């Protein structure tokens, strides 16, 4: 079994294979700098925890002597984080736009081959992507004949395959939840359900989500990926926040609704963007219903034992506090919908 030092060495060799000569030196330091920055982050987090809990020395000093055990634990955790952070920085900071696009297509094709994703859904993966404008001095280089190295780095060493597995698994529970409840949602397009969370397969989100949920690393790339998802996917209330003007909300909806196949009353998914009131923080109806399905699926998957024989009442029995993410008006709409489903007597 390969040890950690050998893994670092072989990973660094793979990194250098994907970089042009002028970036070789920067690539050779990626793992070392990743470990050092992660150790500093963990040390700062420990000091903030001690201050909050009053465990620093009298007078608020941060000079409390740490035990060897704490220091060793922090170093070990930073060592473990070195490779994934280095690969993430390679992809998002060192690779050119052209190189990153090539790698992304390779990885998505691997996901199709491994049945994490269907080929006909690839067009929806890029729904939040805008054309990236490169600066005039950006050399858009590309390294040929290193596809195997790219797959080994991203799919295996970085373990993006685990992130794809988790997204695919969640999407399965979304579909199951919709199949159980779709009779109550005539205005919710099955295509919206089919598209749920597909943007998490794009590098713009997959890098950060893999750092956090696969490697348990709270990196800035994770926060950026999370914000991109929450503030642009219309099944999240944050995308409808008054942080954004109606014009900004409309632009985001226009982007998300490109290439829609399901038109209702002449509008994509029945959402009349032109006449939609975007002043309040209310989600358009189809996305409010998708958001509810998301809550149902998360609880079924994570809290309710994934039981396929679960009753409809158990399925929609969600604590009222979780509906506080919605406006008062939409909180009431979902509460009434839950009561309607329960009152239907459908326990199958």
| Banded pLDDT at 76 (limits 50, 70, 90) | confident
Q: Are residues 40 and 145 in the same domain?
A: yes
Q: Are residues 225 and 308 in the same domain?
A: no
Examine residue 324 and state whether it is found in any structural domain, yes or no.
yes
Examine residue 60 and state whether it is found in any structural domain, yes or no.
no
Last residue of a domain, one of 200, 229, 258: 229
Q: Please state, as a whole number, how many other Cβ atoms lie within 10 Å of the Cβ of residue 110.
A: 18
Look up the domain containing 240 and give its range.
234-343
Q: Are residues 256 and 330 in the same domain?
A: yes
Number of domains in the chain: 2
Its pTM stands at: 0.91
83 class by beta-carbon count within 10 Å (0-12 exposed, 13-18 middle, 19+ buried): buried
For 103-126, how does the pLDDT look when each residue is reduced to its tens digit (9 = 90+)? 999 999 999 999 999 999 999 999
Examine residue 62 and state whether it is found in any structural domain, yes or no.
no
Examine residue 49 and state whether it is found in any structural domain, yes or no.
yes
List Cβ neighbours of 284 (8 Å cut-off, separation of 6 or more): 234, 253, 271, 276
Q: Assess contact for 116 and 164: CB atoms under 8 A.
A: yes
Q: Are residues 252 and 225 in the same domain?
A: no
For 126-143, how does the pLDDT look when each residue is reduced to its tens digit (9 = 90+)? 999 876 544 444 568 999
Last residue of a domain, one of 179, 200, 229: 229
Examine residue 221 and state whether it is found in any structural domain, yes or no.
yes
Examine residue 348 and state whether it is found in any structural domain, yes or no.
no
Can you tell me the distance from the alpha carbon of 320 to that of 142, in angstroms, rounded to the nearest whole number? 52
pLDDT at 56: 52
Q: Assess contact for 174 and 290: CB atoms under 8 A.
A: no
Q: Are residues 222 and 337 in the same domain?
A: no
Rounded to 5°, the CA angle 103-104-106 comes to: 65
Last residue of a domain, one of 209, 229, 249: 229
Q: Are residues 164 and 273 in the same domain?
A: no
Mean pLDDT of the chain: 92
| Banded pLDDT at 63 (limits 50, 70, 90) | very low
What single-letter DSSP state applies at residue 264? E
Q: Are residues 254 and 183 in the same domain?
A: no
Can you tell me the distance from the alpha carbon of 136 to that of 55, in angstroms, rounded to the nearest whole number? 51
Q: Are residues 221 and 267 in the same domain?
A: no
What single-letter DSSP state applies at residue 263? E
Q: Assess contact for 187 and 270: CB atoms under 8 A.
A: yes
For 170-185, how does the pLDDT look when each residue is reduced to its tens digit (9 = 90+)? 999 999 999 999 999 9
Q: Assess contact for 254 and 301: CB atoms under 8 A.
A: no
Examine residue 319 and state whether it is found in any structural domain, yes or no.
yes
Q: Are residues 202 and 268 in the same domain?
A: no
Q: Are residues 167 and 223 in the same domain?
A: yes
The CA–CA distances, whole Å, from 219 to 1, 73, 106, 200 equal 29, 19, 25, 17
Q: Are residues 217 and 195 in the same domain?
A: yes
List Cβ neighbours of 98 (8 Å cut-off, separation of 6 or more): 140, 141, 142
Examine residue 61 and state whether it is found in any structural domain, yes or no.
no
Q: Assess contact for 188 and 286: CB atoms under 8 A.
A: yes
Q: How is residue 280 written in tokens?
A: 């309040």
Q: Are residues 211 and 98 in the same domain?
A: yes
């Amino acid at each position: 079994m390969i040890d950690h030092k050998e893994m670092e060495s072989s990973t660094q060799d793979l990194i250098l294979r994907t970089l042009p000569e002028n970036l070789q030196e920067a690539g050779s330091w990626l793992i070392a700098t990743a470990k050092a920055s992660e150790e500093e982050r963990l040390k700062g987090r420990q000091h903030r925890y001690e201050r909050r809990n009053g465990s620093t020395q009298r007078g608020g000093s941060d000079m409390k002597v740490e035990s060897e055990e704490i220091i060793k634990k922090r170093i070990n955790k930073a060592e473990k984080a070195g490779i994934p952070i280095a690969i993430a920085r390679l992809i998002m900071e060192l690779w050119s736009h052209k190189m990153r696009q090539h790698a992304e297509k390779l990885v998505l094709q691997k996901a199709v081959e491994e049945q994490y994703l269907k080929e006909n859904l690839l067009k929806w993966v890029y729904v939040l992507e805008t054309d990236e404008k490169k600066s005039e001095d950006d050399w858009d280089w590309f390294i040929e004949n290193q596809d195997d190295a790219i797959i080994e780095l991203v799919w295996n060493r970085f373990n993006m395959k685990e992130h794809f597995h988790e997204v695919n698994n969640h999407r399965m529970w979304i579909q199951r939840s919709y199949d159980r409840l779709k009779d109550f949602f005539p205005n919710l397009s099955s295509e919206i359900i089919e598209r749920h969370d597909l943007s998490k397969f794009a590098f713009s989100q997959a890098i950060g989500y893999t750092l956090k949920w696969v490697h348990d690393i709270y990196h800035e790339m994770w926060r950026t990926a999370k914000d991109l998802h929450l503030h642009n996917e219309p099944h999240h209330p944050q995308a409808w926040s008054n942080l954004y003007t109606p014009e900004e909300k409309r632009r985001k909806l226009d982007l998300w609704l490109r290439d829609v196949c399901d038109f209702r009353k002449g509008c994509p998914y029945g959402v009349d963007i032109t006449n939609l009131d975007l002043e309040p923080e209310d989600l358009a109806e189809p996305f409010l219903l998708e958001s509810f399905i998301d809550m149902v699926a998360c609880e079924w998957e994570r809290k309710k034992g994934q039981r396929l024989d679960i009753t409809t009442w158990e399925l929609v029995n969600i604590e009222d506090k979780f509906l506080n993410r919605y406006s008062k008006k939409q909180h009431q709409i979902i509460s009434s919908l839950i009561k309607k489903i329960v009152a239907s007597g459908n326990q199958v």
